[in-house]
A and B are shown apart, each in its own frame.
Chain A
Amino acid sequence: MNPVTALFANDYDEDGFRNCSVTGLDIHRSAENHVKLFGLTAVIAMVVGGLFAISVALTRWELIGLIPEDGYYRHLSMHAWNLLIFWMVFMEIAILYVGGPMVLGRRLPITSVAKAGWVTMVVGAVGINWSIWTVDGGQVAPLLTAYVPLDVPAAFYASAVLFLVGATVAALPFFVAIWKEKRLGSSETLPLVAFGAFVTSIIAVMAILGGIAAFSYALIWKLEIINSINAGIYRQLYWIIGHGSQQINLLAMITVWYFLTHVVGGAVVVSEKVSRSAFILYLFFINLGAAHHLMVDPGLSAGWRIFNTSYAFYGAAFASMIHAFAIPAGIEAGRRQRGLGGGLFGWLTSAPWKNPVFSSTVFSIILFGFVGGITGVLMGQLQLNMTWHNTFATVGHFHGTVAVGTTLAFIGLVFFVIKTMFRRDYLSGTLASLVPYFYASAMGIATLMMMYIGILYGVPRRTSSVVRNIPGTDFSLSAAQPLFMIFGVFAVLAITAGALFVLVSVGSILFGRQLDRDDDAGLLPDGGLRADGGESIHAVDMRGTFALCLIFMATFVALYALNWFLLTRLWSIGA
């Protein structure tokens, strides 16, 4: 068998199904192969974006100052699009196919549409990379936002539209699978993971439509079909996808949290009602968060900004805090029921910390909440945004959410898929176990440094030199240099950890030991996926989770107070 065919091979029965030895799910070849296809493409995008992390980090670390200004914007654009968009969105399509057809035990319908979607996305992604890389003359690299009226290549906007259309097409088989389940399958409630995936897909479509509108608007202006373009309107449209794409990440990630904590940690759903209600709150309110980016824009009324930035009275932040309790509580209740660990935190200390799927997922939950989540709410407050907007702290925020939080969850998922779908053992169990610890700590510290540098020294984002030298003036932000020393070192370590992840995962897929058909690959929690007997659920309490959540809330309140204190020291601004 040639190596490519081998990647997509497994022991299926004559109907194309196999029973997963880990999850117990009936998995059809069509679903599994497309999950692999989109997942592998995502990892390739991660490698490309990761390579540009090297030049971007080593330029911002002005001690090194690797590339000059004009090259820097191209490198930054490549870094942003490949990691924030392509690594995430390809992975999310794979997650939809897991959450839909796989969890429901169905085949993936209309596979030719899935393939057409993949091809369109790949052509769009290659087009975006090409148009960024070949930018020259008076034109400029788009960065992530391609703000009009900058002179960004028309090919960039066209490719972006193509990529988004491709993502919509690729999501269609998922919708058909859900439709078939409800119309032709059972009348039962969707499992929570499938429900989460479904809400994710709706958020995704809302975001993508906004993106198509924004990039099309810019494209017809570039093609001179319309004469002028309004920067404010473009920004409103753009941020529907710009922030919305990151809300897709959030929902996909939370769905993965419920999925993986259950399979490898023995978690249960403590309240279907509460967890599902939180997803419904997201459905209505989370995309209002796009307004976070418009807090210090002219032309928008204070009322509009306050309503939208708060996701309508913090409906979506409330939803996130619900998951912040429900998921660890699920682990606690599931493990206590099995008699795994007593005391306040015994359920946590006895958990499978050497399993990289578990550790990635738990680090993702903790760091997303404490680093990404809290800062997102802070900088989304109308007034605090004045001190965060376009500073390096903003970059810290979305590295807390995407580069630490979501990326760790997806790293856990890739480790899971290597064993369960590619049916390979890790090339090195020790190195695999090391990856989440190494990556979470290095990236976590690099992210915190970005925030300190941005808030305490007002260092802006998107610039190649400003700390040691602002060309043409004596003024500089050189007081931030010591923190940049820490940032630089830990950014390099984080990139090394990312490289280690790619090495271990790709190496395992190609050269790992083939697992036997019934081998559970050591992934399952003690007592198996569904433990029999054990403590009655009525005797199970959630005091450990409650304590953790109180620590979270105390941190939130303290950081909130600190940020407002810093703001009120400023001179008086505004009507």
Chain B
Amino acid sequence: MSDPLDSPDGNWWDRAVNRREAIWLGIAGAWSLGIFGWMSGFTQFGDQNPIGETYEVEIEEYRQRVSEYKDEAADSTEFEDAIVPPGDDVYVAGLRFFWDGLPVVLEAGREYDIHLSSYDVQHGFSVRPEESLSKQINLQVFPESEWVVPMSFDEPGTYHVICNEFCGNGHNSMHGKFYVKE
């Protein structure tokens, strides 16, 4: 044993490590590898992974695609101002200070490809069902980058989208909805 303000004496490298410290090294090392393994494995067997294809896209091009998508989509008969997507693709774009493409009506249990991008600055795509605020997910949204993340909502209900990345004065009013029905 030595003190931290002095150079250690002699061959300090070969000095024995205390047994309890050695056991701790084993426990900490095993835990480190274990949580690495779980995180990696979960991408294979798990249902919640922030993984999807990303494409480079010009802002104007994405705006055009969202506009065409909205033209193709039907107006919802049940929910005010909401649209029903024509297929499995759902387009969402952040812009100061609302979500273009929302509100949208989806079917519970059906898998959709959610396309995420921005027309201006970075935004935070933060979603939760109205009934259970602790069930929430958050994804980062960029301009010039189209991220396609598949999602299927199991429970029907209203899911609220707020922006959780600072995007300018007015940021706290940015809000949109997914209506998920049976």
**CB pair A262 B143 closer than 8 Å:** no
Indicate if B69 sits at the interface (CB-CB under 8 A): no
- Across the interface, A383 reaches (CB within 8 A) one of B13, B49, B116, namely B49
Task: Give residues of chain A (475-494) contacting chain B, Cβ–Cβ below 8 Å.
Answer: 475, 477, 479-480
Indicate if A519 sits at the interface (CB-CB under 8 A): no
- Across the interface, B128 reaches (CB within 8 A) one of A232, A458, A543, namely A458
**CB pair B1 A325 closer than 8 Å:** no
Contact A296 to B167, CB < 8 A, known contacts A192-B4, A575-B51: no
Give 1 or 0 for each of B25-53: 1 = CB within 8 Å of chain A CB.
Answer: 10111011101101110110011111111
Give 1 or 0 for each of A325-358: 1 = CB within 8 Å of chain B CB.
Answer: 1100100011001000000000000000000000
**CB pair A231 B39 closer than 8 Å:** no
Inside 8 A of B25's CB, which chain A residues have their CB? 274, 322, 325
Indicate if B139 sits at the interface (CB-CB under 8 A): yes
Inside 8 A of B13's CB, which chain A residues have their CB? 272-273
- Across the interface, A573 reaches (CB within 8 A) one of B47, B141, B160, B163, namely B47
Q: How far is the CA of A555 from the CA of B19 in the complex (A)?
A: 23
Indicate if A140 sits at the interface (CB-CB under 8 A): yes
How near does chain B come to A74, taking the closest CB pair, in angstroms?
A: 10
Inside 8 A of A296's CB, which chain B residues have their CB? 50, 138-140
Contact A382 to B49, CB < 8 A, known contacts A271-B21, A462-B166: yes
Inside 8 A of A132's CB, which chain B residues have their CB? none
**CB pair B48 A272 closer than 8 Å:** no
Contact A271 to B36, CB < 8 A, known contacts A298-B147, A571-B154: no
Inside 8 A of B120's CB, which chain A residues have their CB? 149
Indicate if A471 sits at the interface (CB-CB under 8 A): yes
Q: How far is the CA of A193 from the CA of B15 in the complex (A)?
A: 19
**CB pair B142 A572 closer than 8 Å:** no
Binds A, one of B73-81, B83-91, B168-176: B168-176
**CB pair B7 A189 closer than 8 Å:** yes
Q: How far is the CA of A268 from the CA of B32 in the complex (A)?
A: 27
**CB pair A298 B12 closer than 8 Å:** no
Total B residues in contact with A, Cβ cutoff 8 Å: 85
Inside 8 A of A150's CB, which chain B residues have their CB? 121-122, 166-168
Indicate if A90 sits at the interface (CB-CB under 8 A): no
Q: How far is the CA of A332 from the CA of B153 in the complex (A)?
A: 53
Q: How far is the CA of A570 from the CA of B153 in the complex (A)?
A: 9
**CB pair B39 A306 closer than 8 Å:** yes
**CB pair B165 A553 closer than 8 Å:** no
Inside 8 A of B6's CB, which chain A residues have their CB? 191
Contact A69 to B170, CB < 8 A, known contacts A269-B3, A271-B21, A537-B1: yes
Q: How far is the CA of A187 from the CA of B171 in the complex (A)?
A: 59
Indicate if A437 sits at the interface (CB-CB under 8 A): no
**CB pair A262 B5 closer than 8 Å:** yes
Inside 8 A of B122's CB, which chain A residues have their CB? 147, 150, 231
**CB pair A572 B140 closer than 8 Å:** no
**CB pair B172 A465 closer than 8 Å:** yes
Inside 8 A of B130's CB, which chain A residues have their CB? 475
How near does chain A come to B104, taking the closest CB pair, in angstroms?
A: 15
Inside 8 A of B121's CB, which chain A residues have their CB? 147, 149-150, 231
Q: How far is the CA of A566 from the CA of B136 in the complex (A)?
A: 10
Give 1 or 0 for each of B143-160: 1 = CB within 8 Å of chain A CB.
Answer: 111110111111100001
Task: Give residues of chain A (53-112) contacting chain B, Cβ–Cβ below 8 Å.
Answer: 69-70, 73, 103
Indicate if A473 sits at the interface (CB-CB under 8 A): yes
How near does chain A come to B142, taking the closest CB pair, in angstroms?
A: 5
Give 1 or 0 for each of A539-575: 1 = CB within 8 Å of chain B CB.
Answer: 0011101100100010011001000101111111111
Indicate if A155 sits at the interface (CB-CB under 8 A): no
**CB pair B8 A272 closer than 8 Å:** yes
- Across the interface, B175 reaches (CB within 8 A) one of A186, A190, A388, A475, namely A475
**CB pair A575 B53 closer than 8 Å:** yes
**CB pair B35 A560 closer than 8 Å:** yes
**CB pair A269 B2 closer than 8 Å:** yes
Binds B, one of A312-320, A400-408, A419-427, A500-508: A312-320
* Chain A minimum-CB-distance residue to B155: A571
**CB pair A386 B137 closer than 8 Å:** yes
Inside 8 A of A191's CB, which chain B residues have their CB? 4-8
How near does chain B come to A421, taking the closest CB pair, in angstroms?
A: 16
Q: How far is the CA of A337 from the CA of B2 in the complex (A)?
A: 12
How near does chain B come to A574, taking the closest CB pair, in angstroms?
A: 3
How near does chain B come to A311, taking the closest CB pair, in angstroms?
A: 9
How near does chain B come to A78, taking the closest CB pair, in angstroms?
A: 15
- Across the interface, A25 reaches (CB within 8 A) one of B5, B47, B128, B172, namely B5
Inside 8 A of B17's CB, which chain A residues have their CB? 271, 273-274
How near does chain B come to A474, taking the closest CB pair, in angstroms?
A: 10
How near does chain A come to B35, taking the closest CB pair, in angstroms?
A: 7
**CB pair A460 B126 closer than 8 Å:** yes
Contact A259 to B133, CB < 8 A, known contacts A296-B138, A574-B52: no
**CB pair B51 A271 closer than 8 Å:** no
**CB pair B21 A270 closer than 8 Å:** yes
Inside 8 A of A163's CB, which chain B residues have their CB? none
- Across the interface, A302 reaches (CB within 8 A) one of B51, B146, B147, namely B51
Contact A383 to B50, CB < 8 A, known contacts A189-B8, A321-B28: yes
Indicate if A126 sits at the interface (CB-CB under 8 A): no
Q: A273-B15, A299-B147, A310-B36 are in contact. List 17 more A-B contacts (CB 8 A).
A: A149-B120, A150-B122, A273-B13, A274-B21, A296-B140, A306-B39, A321-B31, A322-B28, A386-B138, A389-B124, A389-B140, A390-B126, A455-B134, A460-B163, A463-B164, A549-B24, A573-B150
Residue contacts A-B, CB under 8 angstroms, 9 given: A143-B166, A145-B166, A298-B146, A315-B32, A390-B126, A541-B20, A549-B24, A568-B47, A575-B150
6 nearest A-B residue pairs (beta carbon): A460-B164, A298-B147, A458-B136, A574-B49, A314-B32, A321-B28
